Amino acid sequence: MLDRRTALAALSAAAVSSSTGIPAAAPAPLTRKPPRLRPGDTVGLIEPAGFTVDRFDLEAILDTVRAMGLVPKPAPHVMKRYGYLAGTDQERADDVDAMFADRDVRAIFAVRGGWGSARTLPYLDFDTIRANPKLLVGFSDVTALHLALAAKTGCPSIHGPTLSSSWGALSWDSFKRLAFDAETPTWRMPGGGEDRLVPRRGRVRTFGSGKASGRLLGGNLAVLAAMVGTPYMPDMTGAILFLEEVDEAEYRIDRMMTQLALSGLLGKVAGVVFGQCTNCGTDDSPGIGFSLSEILDNHLKPLGVPAFQGAPFGHVANQVSLPVGIRAEIDADAGTIRILEAVVT
């Protein structure tokens, strides 16, 4: 009988050779890196998914950019509404292309997430994006753009807060160190700050011991799982897969992790980091089903690679930024993510 690691490798090969599936795109060679941000730079604002309703919310977002020492430049369709989207798929894609092509724009921030970024992918001009590498910043539904850029252009990006996020001290400091200072920091589990003999917060949940290095690729679990089988999913061979989620019941987490396993994706990675799973779980019949930790244990432990849970990124008030497509090293026992190269020049 095949062990699970061997089985996952076999599934990976089968997924690529399937006559009905679309193989993951080979990792695009890393383009020249985006320029670092400097005070006074102009940055583009896009809404690739959901829309912003209130103009006063947009004013607060513009002030957030100004507080970073940057100059905001909203794309033409920011605040436009088309159903639950911020404009048609073509309009939202045009905004992304325009910001990459604009010589005055040094980086691009997603105003918010929601749903819809994946719908723009067939309309994007990846040649223009490849020729004009700039930092794209955002998380959650923006995962679709991060993965597509990695697959189609090799342009690194930053999985970090959207402009609608709170941008607390940890969020701002981690982003600044990556985007402005071109640092290669090490992110650790946050301290507990609890009145306990043994703190419960910030503890590492290790599913596979050891260290591993590779390109950081990942993002929101639901978005990533939905990208499997498309030409916008980069090859995960040797990658450090990072995942986060929000508002999902345990069985849905199980279903999405099963999708990653059955597609062969999990069998390719060198390591896994699961960040925060905010408001995940149900109140129905507690203790009857699997817990999140049990689900992750079931899917990650058999891989035989370093894997841990609890890193400070995801749908939380204060999260660290992660450079997508850039090499990093994880230590699953210590719960650390060490960035090995700068994401900007």
The CATH number linked to 293 is 3.50.30.60
Q: Which residues contact 60 (CB under 8 A, 6 or more apart)?
A: none
> How do residues 193-231 score in pLDDT, each as one tens digit?
677 777 777 789 999 999 999 999 999 999 999 999 999
**Residue where a domain terminates, one of 148, 179, 210:** 179
Identify whether 33 is part of a domain: no
Are residues 73 and 211 both part of a single domain?
no
pTM of the model: 0.90
Which of these is catalytic: 117, 140, 171, 263? 140
DSSP 166: -
Catalytic residue (choose from 117, 159, 315, 321)? 315
Residue from 91, 244, 248, 250 carrying the catalytic annotation = 244
CA distance 315 to 333: 24
The CATH number for 79's domain is: 3.40.50.10740
Q: Which amino acid is at 96?
A: V
* Coil/strand/helix, residue 43: strand
140 labelled catalytic: yes
Helical ranges in 195-242 per DSSP H: 221-227
- Domain of residue 112: give its range: 42-179
Residue 30 belongs to some domain of the structure: no
Annotated catalytic residue 244: yes
User: Are residues 15 and 74 both part of a single domain?
Assistant: no
Report residue 264 as tokens. Answer: 């062969």
Query: Helix and strand tally (H, E) in the chain?
Result: 9, 14
Closest CA to 12 of 216, 291, 235: 235
- Residue 292 forms part of a structural domain: yes
**Domain boundary, last residue among 162, 179, 196:** 179
The Cα 146–Cα 344 span in angstroms is 16
For 122-154, write each residue's pLDDT tens digit: 999 999 999 999 999 999 999 999 999 999 999
Residue 34 lies in a domain: no
CA dihedral 235, 236, 242, 246 (to 10 degrees): 60
Residue 146 appears among annotated catalytic residues: no
Is there a single domain that holds both residue 173 and residue 233? no
Name the strand (E) or helix (H) holding 44. Answer: strand 42-46
Beta bridge partners of 108: 44, 136
d(CA 231, CA 80): 29
Cβ-proximal residues to 239 (8 Å cutoff; 6+ apart), any chain: 214, 215, 216, 217, 218, 268, 269, 270
Are 116 and 17 in the same domain?
no
| pLDDT tens-digit profile, the chain (345 residues) | 445 445 444 444 444 333 334 556 665 766 689 999 999 999 999 999 999 999 999 999 999 999 999 999 999 999 999 999 999 999 999 999 999 999 999 999 999 999 999 999 999 999 999 999 999 999 999 999 999 999 999 999 999 999 999 999 999 999 999 999 999 999 998 766 677 777 777 789 999 999 999 999 999 999 999 999 999 999 999 999 999 999 999 999 999 999 999 999 999 999 999 999 999 987 555 557 899 999 999 999 999 999 999 999 999 999 999 999 999 999 999 999 999 999 999
**What does the block give as tokens for 106?**
């040094």
For residue 190, the model assigns a pLDDT of 74
